[in-house]
Amino acid sequence: DGGITQSPKYLFRKEGQNVTLSCEQNLNHDAMYWYRQDPGQGLRLIYYSQIVNDFQKGDIAEGYSVSREKKESFPLTVTSAQKNPTAFYLCASSNSLTSGNTIYFGEGSWLTVV
């Protein structure tokens, strides 16, 4: 079945450690996105990529890094520089939004930093 797979679903890490969240899609979408959700807040865009080997910062990119070496994959690294990393992270993908396409989401990853 086509879709977006995020892993792991739950992750616990000690403060000061970098962690990488995986996101893979088999929908043949050009664009991929990482969003973060905190209680009482909407989905906030961390990074997005419109094409392989290219990505742009979203609204809250500080303390995060990404890569887009393959069309199917868009991993997110939460670095030790991210001050409040504990959150719910959603990966998404789409074809061109300018063509009226919608975004498809993964099931999310819960990251807890202790």
Partner 1 sequence: ILNVEQSPQSLHVQEGDSTNFTCSFPSSNFYALHWYRWETAKSPEALFVMTLNGDEKKKGRISATLNTKEGYSYLYIKGSQPEDSATYLCAFKGSNFGNEKLTFGTGTRLTIIP
- Spatial distance between the Cα atoms of 53 and 21, rounded to a whole number of angstroms: 18
| CB hemisphere CA count around 44 (13 angstroms) | 13
**Side chain identity at 98, as an amino acid letter?**
T
Which run of H or of E encompasses 71?
A: none
Among 2, 83, 98, 114, binds partner 1 (CB under 8 A): 98
Site string for partner 1, 33-72 (x = CB under 8 A): x-x----xxxxxx--x-x-----x-xx-------------
**Residues in touch with partner 1 (CB under 8 A):** 4, 31, 33, 35, 40-45, 48, 50, 56, 58-59, 90, 96-98, 100-108
